[in-house]
Amino acid sequence: MGYILAIVFISTLLACFIEKYMKRAQFPIFILLGIVLIIVAGFREIGIDPDSLNYATLYLHPYNSSVTEHVEYSFILIATLLNNISDSPHAILLVYAIMGVSLKMIAFKKYSEHYILMLAIYLCYFYELHELTQIRAGVLSGCFLIAVLYIAERKRQKAALLLFIGGLFHISAISLFPTLFLGNKPLNKKTRLVLYLSVPIGYILYFMGTSILFNADLPIIGDKLVLYQEAMEKGDSIVKLDLFNPVYLLNIFIFYFLLIFHETITKNIKYAPLLLKVYAIGLVLYTSLGFLPVLSLRLSELYYIVNIYMIGSLYYTIKPRWAGLLIISMICIILYAFGLPHMGLINIVKL
């Protein structure tokens, strides 16, 4: 699998440099790459990633009481329907891959005319994280990538519907609903100040001790938090929070760079003001919820999946354009080579 992903990733990166010259070939290549990603995710080896063995067990026993307590009813429903067709767990992996990849492709096409570039950025990190591991969150993140664009266009009803649909696949969609109240007006001085201070505030909240936010009485979520907390205390959790890990620091650097050049970006991308706010929330969640690493990572990643858009916007800040693409490619390679192993996904990408 590592060789396949590496070849597709590098090929997509190279295609970005000639994307504007493709004309009629751009969309067919985009679709072809999407099909390849769906096939790879749907037919990957069971057990090569951290979650597929669990999903295989859940698929074969959808009505087991221990299953129904830990997954959304949508998974049980899909598994039950597919069990009438195939007893192979690849059936449900394929269905989730179709939904997760397709939703993101729709988002990339809506966001930018450089949608192959968006696909390359997606491939360097979030494809492996969501479509090859957290497949339920993968569908939700696809819904959110489209919803955030509707929020920027003040089409909040469509956005809310998409978030609701995403919530049917992963309960963490609840955490994304506050974005419905964010605006997309050009950043004024007050808003810029808040954004500049957001990362330090996240660190301050962490060091002050925010475990008071932990509440096991919260419906549905509370039970999950208890499980995560117990796993961490027993040492069973594989997730360890590193406040100064290279991936997070790289995200901080990109955020501040984009914030400095926000006017240039906004001239080319009408969604930029809102995306910067969403990105900032993701960065703050990572540190402020650090008392519970799994929750911190899951929620922050849901928010700064808009990083796919944000990294792509670097294209408009660096001239000549090929130099911008080169910088973006370097960032993608860094995330692919160091970010994925740091997240415990080395088995997926190792050659």
This prediction has a pTM of: 0.89
pLDDT higher than threshold 60 for residue 62? yes
131, part of any domain = yes
335, part of any domain = no
The reported pLDDT for the residue numbered 331 is 94
Q: Are residues 194 and 308 in the same domain?
A: yes
Residue bearing the bigger pLDDT, 104 or 345: 104
Q: Are residues 7 and 120 in the same domain?
A: yes
Q: Give the 3-state secondary structure of the chain.
A: CHHHHHHHHHHHHHHHCCHHHCHHHHHHHHHHHHHHHHHHHHCCCCCCCCCHHHHHHHHHCCCCHHHHCCCCHHHHHHHHHHHCCCCCCHHHHHHHHHHHHHHHHHHHHHHCCCHHHHHHHHHCCHHHHHHCCCHHHHHHHHHHHHHHHHHHCCCHHHHHHHHHHHHHHCHHHHHHHHHHHCCCCCCCHHHHHHHHHHHHHHHHHHHHCCHHHCCCCCCCHHHHHHHHHHHHHHCCCCCCCCCCCHHHHHHHHHHHHHHHCHHHHHHHCCCHHHHHHHHHHHHHHHHHCCCCHHHHHHHHHHHHHHHHHHHHHHHHCCCCHHHHHHHHHHHHHHHHHHHHHHCCCHHHHCC
The reported pLDDT for the residue numbered 7 is 92
pLDDT in tens, 107-141: 999 999 999 999 999 999 999 999 999 999 999 99
pLDDT in tens, 83-95: 989 889 999 999 9
* CA 190 and chain centroid, separation: 28
What mean pLDDT comes out for the span 190-214?
81
The reported pLDDT for the residue numbered 212 is 46
pLDDT higher than threshold 70 for residue 98? yes
pLDDT higher than threshold 70 for residue 346? yes
pLDDT higher than threshold 60 for residue 192? yes
Q: Are residues 45 and 124 in the same domain?
A: yes
Q: Are 206 and 199 a contacting pair, CB within 8 Å?
A: no
The reported pLDDT for the residue numbered 227 is 55
Separation of alpha carbons 178 and 188, rounded Å: 21
The average confidence (pLDDT) of the chain is: 86
Q: Are residues 22 and 114 in the same domain?
A: yes
12, part of any domain = yes
326, part of any domain = no
Q: Are residues 158 and 13 in the same domain?
A: yes
pLDDT higher than threshold 50 for residue 236? no
Q: Are residues 251 and 299 in the same domain?
A: yes
pLDDT higher than threshold 60 for residue 214? no
Q: Are residues 142 and 213 in the same domain?
A: no
338, part of any domain = no
Residue bearing the bigger pLDDT, 91 or 51: 91
Q: Are residues 161 and 291 in the same domain?
A: no
The reported pLDDT for the residue numbered 237 is 45
What mean pLDDT comes out for the span 179-205?
93
The reported pLDDT for the residue numbered 207 is 80
Q: Are residues 168 and 261 in the same domain?
A: no
77, part of any domain = yes
What would the two tokens of residue 109 be?
């096409």
What would the two tokens of residue 142 be?
């696809």
277, part of any domain = yes
pLDDT in tens, 260-272: 999 999 999 999 9
What mean pLDDT comes out for the span 164-180?
94
> In the chain, how many domains are there?
2
Residue 116 structural domain: 1-174+343-351
Q: Are residues 196 and 75 in the same domain?
A: no
Query: How far, in Å, are 13, 172, 240, 323, 349 from residue 9 at the CA level?
Result: 6, 29, 28, 19, 11
What mean pLDDT comes out for the span 169-186?
93
pLDDT in tens, 284-337: 999 888 777 778 888 888 998 999 999 999 999 988 989 999 999 999 999 988
Q: Are residues 2 and 151 in the same domain?
A: yes
96, part of any domain = yes
Q: Are residues 197 and 222 in the same domain?
A: yes
pLDDT higher than threshold 80 for residue 194? yes
